[in-house]
Homo-oligomer: A and B are copies of this chain.
Amino acid sequence: MERKLRMGMIGGGGGFIGSVHRMAAVLDNEAELVAGAFSSDPAKSLKFGDQFKVAPGRVYKDYKAMLKTEQGLPKEARLDFISVVVPNVGHYPIVKACIEAGFNVICEKPMTCTLKQAKELAALIKKAKKIFVLTHNYTGFPMVKQAQHMVKSGMLGKINKVVVEYPQGWLAGLINAPDNGIAMWRMDPKVAGGSCCMGDLGTHCENLMKYITGLQIESLCADLGSFVPCNRLEDDGNVLLRFKGGAKGILYASQIQAGEENPLRICVYGTEKGLEWRQEDPNYLWLKDPAGLITRYSRGNSNLCDEAKKATRLPWGHPEGYVEAFANLYRDAFALIRAEVNGKKIPASDIPGAEDGIEGCAFVEAVLASTKSKAKWTKMPK
């Protein structure tokens, strides 16, 4: 019987994404949360620890204390990995510290606030031979894997056009709000880094696009804007894309498209066929055939690729959602972490990691630079 992995968490006390990480980690009964520094406020951290059923002795006042103590535990008690679920600006120092302390890391995106930091971390991770997983969770959906498979297998022909849109509307209400001074970390450069909308949503778009199509952005032309008066960062961004090899694309993300919830959508078009996947209806994938047929592929069926099948827990017609996709990332990460912990060869994997983090940061820097240059075509930085 394989033992459960020991999970630590930094941050994740408030907000919803911490609880997503915790659910994703335990869904398959492969891990257990045993330690954490859940808040920068030590009292809150303790309270969260109690709530999350972590023994008080392993709830820490801050991540430094946690790393120091946990590092010193005997191997049979030590954490197998740490999930880093703090606002953007914390990613760099905390992941660095975790890796240096010898821990595997599962980290929220974007990897860091600058491309430079991302590269530095990536080098560190490589040298330390630790596992680093970036939770670009949308790649965990079975039908996203099926989309990737269809593109790879040539079913669509050569890809010529990609459209990815990620409109949210939750900040629209602030545009005319009298309490425009509302504090929200995503709009604060000191916490969020240089970008609000693009760092949060745009990087998901970029990553999903690359995951499905394999295309590399060559250059882009962006127009970021800010509509919420109290927002010092952008809350809307529209981007034209040119890919290596000649394909073109559109990527847009927003937080002020009033009334939209989370309808991330990607459409990919080749010489032969098109496909569409929608996050809010994630159990399906639509294949568009110029012969006049649009075919809905459905999760849980035997006609799907192996990767889609492996990423599924329920039969057709019994909807899976966001948590299950997130748990796929965790499950894939666990395979790598078990190998690392047991000193085995790390298996090959397409799970998002440091390289994806670098590309996400490069993308954000490029859209910021293009906007600054008044929408000149800007090459993706190396």
Bits for A160-193, please: 1 = Cβ < 8 Å to B, else 0. 1101010111101101100000000000000000
Minimum C-beta distance from A351 to chain B (A)? 20
Listed stretches A88-96, A118-126, A254-262; interface member: A254-262
CB distance from A235 to the nearest CB of B (A): 10
Whether A261 and B321, one on each chain, are in contact in the complex, defined by CB atoms closer than 8 angstroms, is: no
B26 and A27 contact, CB distance less than 8 A: yes
User: A257's closest neighbor in chain B, by CB?
Assistant: B269
Give min CB distance, A137 to chain B, whole Å: 10
Which range contains the number of A residues in contact with the other chain?
A: 35 or more
Known: A163-B252, A322-B319. A259 touches B271 (CB 8 A): no
Interface string of A16-32 (1 = CB under 8 A from B): 10011011001111000
Give residues 17-66 of A contacting B (CB, 8 Å): 19-20, 22-23, 26-29, 33, 50, 52-53, 55-56
Q: How far is the CB of A171 from chain B (nearest CB, A)?
A: 10
Q: Which of B170, B287, B301, B323 contacts A313 (CB 8 A)?
A: B323
A256 to B272, CA, bound (A): 10
The closest CB in chain B to the CB of A296 belongs to B294
In the complex, A320 has a CB within 8 A of chain B: yes
A227's partner among B27, B160, B170, B274 (CB-CB below 8 A) is B160
Q: Does the CB pair A16–B314 fall under 8 Å?
A: yes
Q: Is the CB of B259 within 8 A of A290?
A: yes
Q: For the complex, is A291 an interface residue (Cβ under 8 Å from B)? A: yes
Q: Which of A206-214, A341-349, A369-377 contacts B (4 or more CB under 8 A)?
A: A369-377
Contact in complex: A294, B288 (CB < 8 Å): no
Give the distance in Å from the alpha carbon of A281 to the alpha carbon of B320 in the complex: 10
Q: Is A354 an interface residue (CB 8 A)?
A: no
Does A240 lie at the interface of the complex (its beta carbon under 8 Å from any beta carbon of B)?
yes
- Given known contacts A23-B313, A320-B323, A374-B377, A274 and B259 CB-to-CB distance under 8 angstroms: yes
Q: Provide the residues of chain B in CB contact with A260, threshold 8 Å.
A: 269, 274, 288, 317
Q: Does A375 lie within 8 Å of B263, measured CB to CB?
A: no
The CA of A169 and the CA of B275, in the complex, are separated in Å by: 12
Contacts A259-B274, A273-B258, A323-B313; A375 near B296 (Cβ below 8 A): no
Q: How far is the CB of A291 from chain B (nearest CB, A)?
A: 5
The 10 closest A-B pairs by CB, nearest first: A259-B288, A262-B317, A292-B301, A261-B317, A321-B321, A259-B274, A319-B321, A318-B322, A261-B316, A294-B296
* Residues of A bordering B, CB below 8 Å: 1-4, 16, 19-20, 22-23, 26-29, 33, 50, 52-53, 55-56, 156-158, 160-161, 163, 165, 167-170, 172-173, 175-176, 221, 223, 225, 227, 236, 238, 240, 242, 248-250, 252, 254, 256-263, 267, 269-274, 279-283, 287-298, 300-304, 313-324, 374-377
30 contacts between A and B (CB under 8 A): A1-B55, A2-B53, A19-B313, A157-B175, A157-B258, A158-B176, A160-B256, A161-B236, A170-B290, A172-B272, A172-B290, A221-B223, A238-B248, A250-B252, A256-B269, A258-B269, A258-B272, A259-B274, A259-B289, A261-B300, A279-B317, A292-B301, A292-B304, A295-B295, A295-B296, A314-B323, A319-B321, A320-B322, A320-B323, A375-B377
